[in-house]
Amino acid sequence: MEFESNNKLMIKTLNDNCWLELGRSVSHESNPIRIRLIPLYLQLLSLAACVNPVATTVKYEDLDTAPYSEAKQVGRLINESFTELSGLTHSHWHYNLFWSHNDGGNKPVLLALDRSGTLKAKLQIEQTHNRDWEDLDSFMFEQQPYFLVADVGDNFARRDYVELHIIREPRLSQPSSEQLKKADTIELLTAPILYTLKIHYKGGPRDCEAVAIDMQQKKVLLLSKRDVPALLFEVSLKNVLDYLRRYKTSYDQTIDSMSESLYVADSSVRQHVSHQNKPFVEQVTVKPITELAKLPQPTFKDFVSQFMKVVYSSQPTSMDISSKGDRAIVLTYRYAYEFSRSITESWEDAFKKTPRLIDFPKLKQAEAISYTANDQGIIIISESLGSPVFELFRLIDAH
Return the closest-CA partner of residue 355 out of 337, 378, 370, 335. Answer: 337
Q: Tell me the Ramachandran region of residue 174: left when phi exceeds 0, alpha when psi lies from -120 to 50, beta otherwise.
A: left
Contact of 219 with 137, CB cutoff 8 Å: no
> What are the residue ranges in the chain where pLDDT is below 50?
1-51, 53-55, 180, 255-256, 258-275
Q: Which CATH architecture has domain 60-393?
A: 5 Propeller (2.115)
Q: What is the 8-class DSSP label of residue 34?
A: E
Q: Give the span between the Cα atoms of 276 and 7, in whole angstroms.
A: 43
Q: What is the DSSP letter of 230?
A: P
The pLDDT of residue 310: 61
Say if residues 136 and 89 touch (Cβ distance below 8 Å). Answer: yes
Beta bridge partners of 137: 148
The answer to whether residues 105 and 144 touch, using CB atoms and an 8 Å cutoff, is no
Strand bridging mode 85-90 / 356-358: unpaired
State whether the Cα torsion 297-301-306-311 is positive or negative: positive
CB 341 within 8 Å of CB 329: no
Domain spans of the chain, in order of start: 10-50, 60-393
Q: Are 70 and 358 in contact (CB under 8 A)?
A: no
Q: Number of helices (H) and strands (E), helices first, in the chain?
A: 7, 26
What is the spatial distance between Cα 41 and Cα 35, in angstroms, rounded to a whole number?
17
| Per-residue model confidence (pLDDT) at position 226 | 93
* Per-residue model confidence (pLDDT) at position 30: 39
The predicted structure's pLDDT at residue 248: 78
Question: How far is 31 from 21, CA to CA, in rounded Å?
Answer: 13
| 180 CB neighbour count, 10 Å cutoff | 16
For residues 361 and 24, give the distance between their C-alpha atoms in angstroms, rounded to a whole number.
34
Are 325 and 375 in contact by the 8 Å Cβ rule? The answer is no
Q: Give the angle subtended at the CA of 244 by the CAs of 259 and 90, to the nearest 5°.
A: 95
The residues near 383 (Cβ < 8 Å, ≥ 6 apart) are 84, 85, 86, 103, 364, 365, 367, 368
Q: List b or e across 204-231, with b for residues whose CB sees 16 or more CB atoms inside 10 angstroms.
A: ebbbbbbbbbbbebebbbbbbbbbbbbb
pLDDT value of position 305: 55
